[in-house]
Structure 1
Amino acid sequence: MNLSPMPLAVLVVDAAGIVTSWNKACEKLAGYGAAEIQGMPLLHIVEFADPPDAQPQLAARAEAESDAVLKCADGRRLPVRVMVAPRALEPGPASSFSVIVIPQPGQFPARYALIQDLPVADIVEALPCVFYVIDPSGHLLLWNRLLEEALEMPADELPTAKVEGFFDARDREVVVDNIRRAFEHGHSTHEAVLVGKHGKRTSLLFQCARTTLGNVPVVFGTGLDITVRKQAEHGLQVRERAIYSSLNAIVITRCEEHEHRIEYVNPAFERITGYTLAEIKGRDPRFMRLDGCDEDERQRIRMALKRNESVRAVLRNLRKNGEIFWNDLRIDPVVNLDGEISHFVGVINDITEARHYERRLHHLAHHDPLTGLANRTLLQERLRQALEGAAQKGTTLALAFLDLDNFKHINDHFGHDAGDAVLREVAQRLRAGMREDDLVARMGGDEFVLLLCDPTSRAQLADLVERIRLAIMAPLRVDGQEILPGTSIGVALFPDDGDTPEQMMRAADAAMYHAKTMGKNNVQFHSAELNQIVHAYLMLEANLGRAIRERELVLDYQPKVDLRSGRVVGAEALVRWRHPVEGTIPPDRFIPVAEETGLIVPLGEWVIEETCVALKSMAAHGLDDFVIAVNLSARQLRQRQFPERLGQTLRRYGVDPRRLELEVTESQLMDQPDEARDALAQLKALGVRLSIDDFGTGYSSLSHLQTFPVDYIKIDRSFLGDVGHDGHMVITRAIIALGHNLKLQVIAEGVETREQLAFLRAHDCDQMQGYYFSPALSRDALQDLLARDTRLPD
């Protein structure tokens, strides 16, 4: 730009006031040629209004405005305003000065009439931007009102202030560099923040250009207020940084003719999917879809995009490496300035781990942690679904309850780790024996359930369940020890035995209970008759505890007779249940129930207490050598505190331990022979007598038998059924001989005939008991028998 048409004369003078350069406006305004002005003292051209005797030096006029007269070549005297400014941006004494000569209003030559009529000042003031002119010293020569407002400074303060002072200290060096660049290279552009006198901050885009006023270089330009733009840019930068730094994957697509092409993805997208922006820019995001999956969700997305609506969906996609990941996707449209949908923004939340965690929680909530089988919750859900399906299709289904036999013994003898190993192995065997559509569940403890969908026939169902029972019976080894599991199985059928989950489970459970009462390790199907039996069994179980508490139980005593003298030397205590409604309930009905439920322990303690009362009473009647035998259960024998409690009971009643005999079965001893030996040794240390009951029915090892500290062995009644039977005679004689060889007395039980008695006497058996001599008697009847010294006839 050239300012020469403007009536703004600029001269450059040295420190002595000699003109060294000028601009064209100076020639036109004063009428001198270049040769005439060159080297002319300034005072020959400009006559200041100061009195002659008060003329200040040129340097003193710097940064000030003076009235003067311009002496023109044609003799005219033109009133002007003169401004003097040192020509340097650096501090220190100036070596030259710029002198700006501006005609007073109405003093322009005719050739400037048009310019004079042009309202330049109004135009500059009306500019929608800051306007400025800066001289080489870094001072303002001209400016407009917007600059004053931005700087919060009045006009009379601006000429004396350096431009660099209008900016933050940290920005000043850059601002000065840009002004110099404009002086040196003709132009520069930069952004900076003007700082007002009272702290106002205005962001401006400065456009600078160099020009000359005569031979005096100046920089002029504009400053466009970009505060709003900078604020918007800052907001965009924050949002862009947020998108860039987001943990969620973000993808922006561009809409073109109903197509959606990727325009941007953030680093999280690259991390989650494995694809970089360079690889997928311009592609449709659907390239990551997993074919055949989540079609309903994908259709929802397509319809929402077609309607230009937001949508949220959960679906599976493929990473670059082929892995499947779960994607919680939210898509929203982006409206441009014209109100049109130009882009869509998708936010991807990788929920793969959350889905896996949910599945693990669901699995834990529906499966047994030890075996991995379905648990009670899942069984009930599947059973309900299966029943509904069977009812709709008119098919059948079966529910089988399995309970492992003697599992407590496995835990007690081999340890709980071995018990867990057995449960896991049984679970595996059950899985192997089932069809794919069937369900195997563990109810807890040692109880398992089979849900068998649509069995082909009752016969095939029975065959399947029997094969499962046999598979469970197969030996397994745990830590080098062989374990032989067994199971009792109860089966219920739909619709015969029930049509609701509750009815089916009760029916199968009842059938399983019946299998237990039938001797265990067998399969029983449910029936109406069976339901009555099991109901009676459960009622018996419920009433037995009450019977113990309310003393409905009584003891009868079957006498034991010495076969040599015929004298009654002892008795076996036999428990009876006098039920208030059903009458007398025999032991073979309630003792197994007590064994199963654990009530045998309080029942056994009661029997010992009653026996001690009877022994004390007999001692009071002078019968201090009489021995009463009590049957000891396996549970009592395994209790570690039992010998100590027994000793306390004997002392409390003042009973001689030698008058109490404890009977244990052969199977109890051989079940855990080492533990049994230790328990018997502790009991023997108390002084009580010990006998092995039902001898000959188990599988005794003679090496074990001779180490047990027992006093008697009892021949099981089955070996006396027919003394004429050669097999029975041989076994009975062998048992008597074995007992005597081991220095044990031999007792025969269940003696009912004269022939049996004669056989026992002939083979030197020591004692007998049975109906041949006497049934079980009450305590009073027994004492009366003893008082009368009733003996076995010869």
Structure 2
Amino acid sequence: MNLSPLPLAVFVVDATGSITSWNRACEKLAGYGAQDIRNRGLDTIIAFDDAAAVNRVADRVNADSTGELICADGRRVPVRVTVAPQSLDPDQPGTYSVIVVPRSGLAPTRYALIQDLPIADIIEELPCVFYVIDQSGHLLLWNHQLEDALEMTSDELPTYNVKNFFDEAVQAKIVQKILEAFEEGTSSHESDLIGRHGKRTPFLFHCARTNLGSLPVVFGTGLDITARKEAEHGLRVRERAMYSSVNAIVITCCEDADNVIEYVNPAFEQITGYTLAEVKGKNPRFMRVDDCDVDERQRIHDALARQQSVRAVLRNRRKNGEIFWNDLRIDPVASMEGKVTHFVGVISDVTEAKHYERRLQHLAHHDALTGLANRTLLQERLKSAIDSATARRKQGALAFLDLDNFKHINDTFGHEAGDAVLREIALRLRASMREEDTVARLGGDEFVLVIAEQPDLAQLGMLVERIRQGVSAPIVVDGKEIQPGTSIGVSLFPQDGRNVDQIMRAADAAMYHAKTLGRNNVQFYSDELNQVVHQHLLLEASLSRAIRNRELVLGYQPKVDLRTGRVVGAEALVRWQHPVDGIIPPDVFIPVAEQTGLIVPLGDWVIDEACRTLRALGALGIDDFVIAVNLSARQLRQRRFVNRLAETLARHGVAPGRLELEVTESQLMDHPEEAREALAQLKLLGVRLSIDDFGTGYSSLSHLQRFPVDCIKIDRSFLGGTGDLHNGHAVITRAIIALGHNLQLQVIAEGVETREQLTFLRDHDCDQMQGYYFSAALARDGLQDMLRRDTRLDM
């Protein structure tokens, strides 16, 4: 930009002497246009007389210089040159004003030059307020900048005492400063000028005493320091923020290619234990932990060398020697010239977060009770072992362990004892395995071993057998000896599968095979076992189709009242009529349905079909006949089972009391409180309830008494074969009948096949029986015919 016109030729130059701006008097005097002057060196325009002795603009400040102005047309005009230390161009701070005046004859002194200046014009163009005050405190002279600050006209200003331009709280101080200038010659102070409309502007005032003729006065300038005040306030806020920050802040100064600490805040002292006095002048590297986080530290070093920002997470050492994790962010700070002079580092102590992260990492991959690997970590380790075995042409093994009687341990000794057993078995398994092997717990009483590189199958077999024996050794808990046992299934990789899922399914199948062979033994996966598993999967798929295609049928085994010989009910027994394989018995497909969850739709179908039969019998006038349906544990646990059952009964128009639901003793004792609540809801619905296979589980009489059941069924195993009722079976059977009657329950015997069994039951007041002695299961038509003819038991 060009300077506003002045009656003097004035150049503005930077510290190197390069011309940055000028006024029109320069163009008139030297004859140059704007394009000719800009960025030219001062020495190409002015030939100084002492150029050889003085070559820096700064050295000519406040000194009288002479020389020749080199004009555009080649003329040389003798001039006086005065260099002022401040630029008259407010948009170009840090520059110099060069005032050029033509001369003739000898050069005048500096004071003579000042006398030649047009003072009034200069005062009006000053970048500050200017004022002259008499001893009464009134203005004699001022420039327009003062009028702008006070929002007043030139006619109004003389009528005010200058103290009234300030806040009332500081007026006494203002008067004191003016008197100080009159008495001592000068004074300075900072204060806000308050305009007529309330505008407040902070100024830095400088006052000096002089005389106008014989009148003592004080003149002065006021520099608007709004920007400085705002900057100072910002600095105070930022300084307070750094001081109060919970994160440690370190400011380092770049000295001789090193970064030494210049400032640390209180949070740094709290986190590290070092005070500012102890660390000032040191490189922050003194806190590092040797041989730790080498890569992170190198990243920091490289970033600082490039003067770039960097963030890293690394360990440092506190004053007390304790190691802590810190999340460090470092940023460079540059000067106005763009040179990096400092670095600011912000340290967050993330030690607790790191420890918590490690705990979460451990919990995410380890079982909480035993500390063994969990399913997630097991699958990672197994995949790695399979890949390694495949690549190195080696052989590994996966062993599934399932405790044989863990439910009995929990029921007999309590869950705390059960947990103690699991922890002890985990310790035994760890002790039996090598460092490179993996021991995992999948939950409950299932453990898995990943055994790497086992070239000798015989040695592997001996190892697994030793593990089985070790697990089966007695465990003492609270002075009581507990005898665990385990069934183990083993698969080999890569021959039994190429991926994690195949290997785990093979070992799982081998383990179930071990259980079917009597438990507490070891079985290896084989092609034959694979065929069994394959048949199991086919059966699962076929069963799902059979439910959809209505390949299932119900047979009804009659129940006989042992006092009248009359048929009073029947048990619904499901059969599968396979289109290719013919009749498939329930002991083949019911376990598959239980394992896969198909038991739920299968059970719903059985109940619906039984209700259909009860409705058909009702149409024949048979309204007191009861059909019993076996209920699975999955059905009993379903939340909406009771609602669905009520809807089914209502849809068929069957009274709830004509349907009896049979649950096994083991189902009730797995979760007795949940079972009691579920049975209570069924009882409210009005259906009859019975306990099937009574005497084969681990019943608690206190629980049994609380179950809202109507009858109990004696398991066929207690009747024995022909002639067996004179041994221990008879004692148990009599006890069950007596127990049932004492609890006001009906007692039903199933599996009755001989006259001797019938006579025994009748002699001991058993209420009902069912079995081949009277009738096998009948189709619906056969049952209806039997009831229509009133077929009875030959008593």
Q: Which amino acid aligns with 1:489?
A: I
Q: Which residue of 1 aligns with 2:497?
A: 498
Q: Which residue of 1 aligns with 2:315?
A: 316
| Correspondences of 1:214-233 after superposition (within 5 Å) | 218-233=217-232
For the residue of structure 1 that corresponds to 2:270, the secondary structure is: helix
The more displaced of 418-427 and 370-379 is 418-427
Q: Which amino acid aligns with 1:531?
A: N
> How far apart in 2 are the matches of 1:676 and 1:363?
41
Q: Which residue of 1 aligns with 2:294?
A: 295
CA contact (8 A) 1:153 1:197 kept: yes
Deviation at 1:380, TM superposition (A): 2.4
Q: Which residue of 2 aligns with 1:122?
A: 118
> How far apart in 1 are the matches of 2:132 and 2:169?
23
> How far apart in 1 are the matches of 2:729 and 2:145?
132
CA contact (8 A) 2:247 2:268 kept: yes
CA contact (8 A) 1:556 1:776 kept: no
Deviation at 1:413, TM superposition (A): 6.9
Q: Which residue of 1 aligns with 2:18?
A: none
Q: Which residue of 1 aligns with 2:532?
A: 533
> How far apart in 2 are the matches of 1:545 and 1:485?
37
Deviation at 1:291, TM superposition (A): 2.1
CA contact (8 A) 2:551 2:576 kept: no
> How far apart in 2 are the matches of 1:193 and 1:319?
49
Please state if 1:672 is matched with 2:668.
Answer: no
> How far apart in 1 are the matches of 2:187 and 2:253?
37
Deviation at 1:531, TM superposition (A): 0.9
Deviation at 1:500, TM superposition (A): 1.4
> How far apart in 2 are the matches of 1:158 and 1:121?
27
> How far apart in 1 are the matches of 2:422 and 2:386?
28
Distance 1:600 1:358, change over 3 A: closer
Deviation at 1:279, TM superposition (A): 1.7
CA contact (8 A) 1:473 1:487 kept: yes
> Deviation string for 1:20-78 (max 9, x for gaps)?
xxxxxxxxxxxxxxxxxxxxxxxxxxxxxxxxxxxxxxxxxxxxxxxxxxxxxxxxxxx
**Which gives a bigger RCO, structure 1 or 2 (Cα 8 Å, sep 6+)?**
1
> How far apart in 1 are the matches of 2:251 and 2:275?
14
Deviation at 1:321, TM superposition (A): 3.6
Distance 1:737 1:297, change over 3 A: closer
Q: Which residue of 2 aligns with 1:274?
A: 273
For the residue of structure 2 that corresponds to 1:387, the secondary structure is: helix
> How far apart in 1 are the matches of 2:315 and 2:467?
41
CA contact (8 A) 1:399 1:450 kept: yes
CA contact (8 A) 1:413 1:672 kept: no
Q: Which amino acid aligns with 2:701?
A: D
For the residue of structure 2 that corresponds to 1:441, the secondary structure is: strand
CA RMSD of aligned residues (A): 5.8
Deviation at 1:263, TM superposition (A): 1.1
Please state if 1:714 is matched with 2:719.
Answer: yes
| Correspondences of 1:149-188 after superposition (within 5 Å) | 150-188=149-187
> Deviation string for 1:546-597 (max 9, x for gaps)?
7789575777999x9xxxxxxxxxx999997664433455677567667877
| Correspondences of 1:17-96 after superposition (within 5 Å) | none
Query: TM-score scaled by structure 1?
Result: 0.60
> How far apart in 2 are the matches of 1:158 and 1:120?
30
Q: Which residue of 2 aligns with 1:487?
A: 486
Q: Which amino acid aligns with 1:122?
A: P
Deviation at 1:334, TM superposition (A): 2.2
Q: Which residue of 2 aligns with 1:40?
A: none
Q: Which amino acid aligns with 1:139?
A: H
Q: Which residue of 2 aligns with 1:326?
A: 325
Query: TM-score scaled by structure 2?
Result: 0.60
> How far apart in 2 are the matches of 1:644 and 1:139?
102
Q: Which amino acid aligns with 2:719?
A: K
Q: Which residue of 2 aligns with 1:375?
A: 374
For the residue of structure 2 that corresponds to 1:514, the secondary structure is: helix
CA contact (8 A) 2:679 2:708 kept: no
Deviation at 1:532, TM superposition (A): 0.8
The more displaced of 164-173 and 201-210 is 201-210
Deviation at 1:164, TM superposition (A): 0.8
The more displaced of 417-426 and 254-263 is 417-426
CA contact (8 A) 1:152 1:196 kept: yes
Deviation at 1:173, TM superposition (A): 2.5
Deviation at 1:533, TM superposition (A): 1.6
> How far apart in 2 are the matches of 1:237 and 1:414?
70
Q: Which amino acid aligns with 1:236?
A: L
For the residue of structure 1 that corresponds to 2:719, the secondary structure is: strand
> Deviation string for 1:91-129 (max 9, x for gaps)?
xxxxxxxxxxxxxxxxxxxxxxx9999748834762545
Deviation at 1:379, TM superposition (A): 2.5
> How far apart in 2 are the matches of 1:539 and 1:164?
105
> How far apart in 1 are the matches of 2:239 and 2:411?
68
Distance 1:495 1:217, change over 3 A: same
CA contact (8 A) 2:774 2:793 kept: no
Distance 1:633 1:518, change over 3 A: farther
> Deviation string for 1:285-330 (max 9, x for gaps)?
1122222222112111111211222222232223334443333323
Q: Which residue of 1 aligns with 2:304?
A: 305
Q: Which residue of 2 aligns with 1:255?
A: 254
Distance 1:284 1:740, change over 3 A: closer
Unaligned 5+ segments in structure 2 are 1-109, 561-569, 621-627, 631-661, 670-674, 739-748, 757-771
For the residue of structure 2 that corresponds to 1:672, the secondary structure is: coil
Q: Which residue of 2 aligns with 1:337?
A: 336
> How far apart in 2 are the matches of 1:672 and 1:788?
37
> How far apart in 2 are the matches of 1:216 and 1:650?
122
Q: Which residue of 1 aligns with 2:437?
A: 438
Q: Which amino acid aligns with 2:122?
A: A
CA contact (8 A) 2:394 2:455 kept: no
CA contact (8 A) 1:574 1:776 kept: no
Deviation at 1:737, TM superposition (A): 9.1
Deviation at 1:161, TM superposition (A): 2.4
Larger Cα Rg: Structure 1 or Structure 2? 1
For the residue of structure 2 that corresponds to 1:206, the secondary structure is: strand
Distance 1:742 1:389, change over 3 A: closer
> How far apart in 2 are the matches of 1:357 and 1:491?
37
> How far apart in 2 are the matches of 1:526 and 1:199?
95
Deviation at 1:236, TM superposition (A): 3.0
Distance 1:171 1:547, change over 3 A: same
> How far apart in 2 are the matches of 1:179 and 1:548?
109
Distance 1:260 1:776, change over 3 A: same
CA contact (8 A) 1:515 1:523 kept: yes
> How far apart in 2 are the matches of 1:551 and 1:322?
77
CA contact (8 A) 1:124 1:131 kept: no
> How far apart in 1 are the matches of 2:114 and 2:507?
112
Distance 1:666 1:183, change over 3 A: same
Deviation at 1:175, TM superposition (A): 1.5
Q: Which residue of 1 aligns with 2:464?
A: 465
Unaligned 5+ segments in structure 1 are 1-113, 561-570, 621-627, 652-656, 695-712, 721-730, 758-772
> How far apart in 1 are the matches of 2:736 and 2:364?
62
> How far apart in 2 are the matches of 1:201 and 1:648?
86
> How far apart in 1 are the matches of 2:119 and 2:142?
12
> How far apart in 2 are the matches of 1:676 and 1:142?
110
For the residue of structure 2 that corresponds to 1:338, the secondary structure is: coil
Q: Which amino acid aligns with 1:714?
A: L
> How far apart in 1 are the matches of 2:163 and 2:752?
127
Deviation at 1:281, TM superposition (A): 0.9
Deviation at 1:216, TM superposition (A): 7.5
> How far apart in 1 are the matches of 2:166 and 2:777?
121
Q: Which amino acid aligns with 1:674?
A: L
Q: Which amino acid aligns with 1:297?
A: E
| Correspondences of 1:640-679 after superposition (within 5 Å) | 664=693, 667-668=696-697, 671-672=698-699, 674=701, 678=705
> Deviation string for 1:581-629 (max 9, x for gaps)?
334556775676678779899889979x99xx99x99xx9xxxxxxx9x
Distance 1:642 1:189, change over 3 A: closer
Distance 1:515 1:740, change over 3 A: closer
